[in-house]
Amino acid sequence: MLQAEHVSFSVGGRPLVDGVTVHLVPGRMLAILGPNGAGKSTLLALLSGERRPTGGAVRLDGRDLRDVPPRLLARRRALVGQHPSAGFAFSVEEAVQLAVEAAPCGAAERRRLIAESLHAADAAALRHRLLPHLSGGEGQRVAFARALAQLAAGSLHRDGPDGVATLLLDEPTASLDPAHQHHLLRAARDWMERTGGACAVVLHDMTLAARYCDDALLLAGGREAWSGPMAALPVPVLERVFATRFVRMPAPDGRGAVFATTGQPPAV
Amino acid sequence: MSASASQSSANRPITAMPPARRPRLAPALGLLGAALAAAVLFALSTGSIPLPLDRVLSHLAQAAGLPGEPLGARDAAVLHTLRLPRIVLAAAVGMTLGVAGASLQAIFRNPLADPGLVGVSSGAALAGSVTMMLGVAGLGLSRSGLSLSTLLPATAFLGALAATILILTLARRDGRCSATDMLLAGIAVNVLGGAGIGLCSYLGDDQALRQMTFWMMGGFGGAGWTQIGPALALMLAATAGLLANARRLDLYALGERDAFLLGLEPHRFAVRTVLLVALGVGAAVAVSGLIGFVGLVVPHMIRLWLGPVHRRLLPATALAAAVLLVLADTAARSIAAPADVPVGLLLGAVGAPVFLWLLRARGGRPFG
C-alpha cells in the first residue's frame, strides 16, 4: 500500500507541498481537490516516486520509495499525467504494449491484457492510430489504457504482502467529453472493485468527485485545508478555498451531488 | 520536453491520418538479409580487376567445402586480402553507425540526432588529427616501434571516449543527465573539436595535412585484416549491446517521466547507452574516418517503413545501413577507378539532397 507521511516538496525555498499526509485505502477512491497551484500534481508526483520529497516520506508497504527500484514500483502504481507523451510515432497498440512487456506471461496473455485495457478505456477503436495524431481527449484515454495495462501486467508478479496496486490520475478528465468523463471514472471504479486497488484522482469537477470518490483531500497553498469523506465536504470550506460561490444540489438519482458555480463571490 | 511534445500537436494535419498497419518483421529482415548477401557478392565481383560472379560463387562454395572451383592465385588474393576485409569493414561500420544513430535518436527523442551531433565523432577526429600532425616521433613514441596506422585507431577511440566523458560530465547536474543538456554539451564539444582540428590543419606540414584531410573524408581504402581486427571486435560488441537495449529504448523514447513510471531508471540508462555509442562510433571513426548521413537517414527511412518500435527498428537498421555502405563503397572504388573516391564525400553529396527531398516530400508530417 502506498502512503505519504507529512510529505513536503520545496523548490528554491518555496514549498509546493507542505506536510501533507495521504493514506490510500484499498477499494476507495480519493479525490484530490484544490485551486490551480495548490500542489495537487506535485503531490501525485511525490506519490508516484517521480519526485523525491524534501521532507517526510512516501512508503510502499512501509518501505521508503527511494529504496524501491523503478522496476518494482512500476508493478504497483501507475500514473496518468496531464500531458500524454508524443514524440515518436508509436501506434496506440505499440504504446500500450510497452507497459506489459515485462509481464511474466506469454504473448497471447499479453495481447489479451492490451485488448482488455484498451476496451476498458474505450480506446479499442484507436488501436492502429499513431500517438501524435490523437486529439487531447483520445490521448488521455490511451494513457489511461496504458496505466490499466501496466497494473494488470504488474499484478501477475504478485509482489508485496498485499499486492495492492495504486492508480494515480492527474486531471484525467480534463480533455474528455462529458460521456467519456463518466466512462473513465466508472472504469477506474471497476478496476478498483476488480483488483481491490486504491485510486487517487485530481479533479476540478466537484460533481464528478461527489459521484465517484469516497474521500476528499482539499489542498490550498500546498497544505491540507480539509480531508474526510467526500459526502461530508462542507460547501463553505470549498467556497473559502476556491474563493467562489458553489451551489450544491442533490443528484437526481441520489448518488453524490451536483455542484454548480455561478462566478459570484462566496456567500459569506 | 513535455512542452515541446504538446506543441508538436500544433503541426498535426487537419485530414485524418491513415492507421498504422506495420509490415511484419520477419519478412522485412529476410528481405534486408538477402539484399546484404546480394550487395556483398556484387561488391566481391566488382572492382578494377573484375571477378565474374559465377566464379566468385564457385570459389566461395569450394571454400565452404561444397563442389566448386577455386579462383587463380592472383584473383584469390584480390578476393581475400583486398576486397573481403574492405567489404566486412564497410558492413560493420554501416551497422554500427546505423544502430548508434537510431539509439541516439531515442535518447534525444529527436529523429535528427546523429553520432556526429553529440560530439563523439568530433572527439575521435580531433584525437586522430593531433596524432597525424605530431606523428609517431612527435608523440615521443619513436622507440616504441608503433606505426601511425596502429596508433591512429587507439588515439581516435580515446578521443571519442574523452569527448563522451566530457559531455556526460558537463550535462550532469545533481546526478541527473537530461537529453537536452547532453545535446547542448554535444554542440559545445563539436565546436571545440572543430577548432582543434582547424588548429591541427594550420600547424601541420603538407604530408600530415593531406593525410588528415583524406582520413576525415571517410573511406575504407587500405583495410587489411590485422588493422581492422580490434575495431571490428569493438563495433560488434557495441552493436550487440545496443541491440539488447531495444525494449528500454522504447520506454525512453516515451520521455524520461513515462520511462520512469513504466519502470526504467532513465538517467543510468541514458549514460550507459551513450557510452555504448561512443565505443562503437569511436571504433568506426578510427578505421574509416568521418562518414555522416548513415546514422541519420537509414533509421529515418526504416522508421517510415516498419515504425518506431526499436525491437523492429534496430535490427532492420543494422542490415539496411550495412547494405548502404557496402554499395556506397563499391561505387566509391568503381566510379573513378583506379582512383578511390572517399566514401564519406560520396554519401554526403548523394545523401544530403536525398534527405532534404525526403524532408520536403513528407510535408510537415510528424517524424517516425
Q: Do B65 and B145 belong to one domain? A: no
Round to whole Å and give the CA distance between B213 and A116: 60
Least confident stretch, A141-155, A249-263, B1-15, B32-46: B1-15
- What CATH code is carried by the domain that includes residue B271? 1.10.3470.10
Domain that includes residue A238, residue range: 2-261
Instruction: Say how many domains are in chain A.
Output: 1
pLDDT beyond 70 at A162: no
How many CB pairs lie under 8 A apart between chains A and B? 103
Chosen from A88, A94, A110, A142 to mutate, greatest number of chain B CBs within 10 A: A88
Class of residue A223 by CB neighbours under 10 A (exposed 0-12, middle 13-18, buried 19+): middle
Residues of chain B contacting residue A42, judged by C-beta atoms under 8 Å apart: none
Distance (Å) from the C-alpha of residue A50 to the closest C-alpha of chain B? 7
The verdict on residue B11 lying in a domain is: no
Q: With an 8 Å Cβ cutoff, are B20 and A128 in contact?
A: yes
Q: With an 8 Å Cβ cutoff, are A75 and B263 in contact?
A: yes
Task: Give me the torsion for CA of B322, B328, B330, B332, rounded to 10°.
Answer: -150
pLDDT beyond 80 at A190: yes
The C-alpha cell at B104 is: 541516439
Q: What's the alpha-carbon Rg for chain A, to the nearest Å?
A: 18
Residues of chain B contacting residue A79, judged by C-beta atoms under 8 Å apart: 261
Residues of chain A contacting residue B367, judged by C-beta atoms under 8 Å apart: 88-89
Q: What is the pLDDT of residue B34?
A: 97
CB-based contact, B7 to chain A, within 8 Å: no
Q: With an 8 Å Cβ cutoff, are A130 and B12 in contact?
A: no
- What CATH code is carried by the domain that includes residue A210? 3.40.50.300
Q: Do B56 and B144 belong to one domain? A: no
Strand partners, A201: A31, A169
Cβ atoms of A57 and A3 within 8 Å: the answer is: no
Question: In sequence order, which residues have a C-beta less than 8 Å from that of residue A15 and are 6 or more positions away?
Answer: A8, A9, A222
The verdict on residue B1 lying in a domain is: no
Q: Among A203, A199, A210, which residue's Cα sits nearest to residue A258?
A: A210
Q: With an 8 Å Cβ cutoff, are A50 and B368 in contact?
A: no
Q: With an 8 Å Cβ cutoff, are B19 and A50 in contact?
A: no
The verdict on residue B195 lying in a domain is: yes
ipTM: 0.91
Round to whole Å and give the CA distance between A245 and B166: 57
| Tens of pLDDT, residues B116-161 | 777 888 898 899 888 888 876 677 777 676 777 677 777 887 888 8
Give me the mean pLDDT over the B91-106 stretch: 93
The verdict on residue A103 lying in a domain is: yes
The verdict on residue B9 lying in a domain is: no
| Tens of pLDDT, residues A214-249 | 999 999 999 999 999 999 999 999 999 999 999 999
B150: how many CB neighbours lie within 10 A of its CB? Answer: 14
The C-alpha cell at B350 is: 548523394
Inter-CA distances, B116 with A81, A98, B120, B125, B226, Å: 34, 29, 6, 10, 27
Domain that includes residue B198, residue range: 72-361
pLDDT beyond 50 at A107: yes
Class of residue A156 by CB neighbours under 10 A (exposed 0-12, middle 13-18, buried 19+): middle
Antiparallel, parallel or unpaired: β A166-170 and A77-80:
parallel
pLDDT beyond 70 at B87: yes
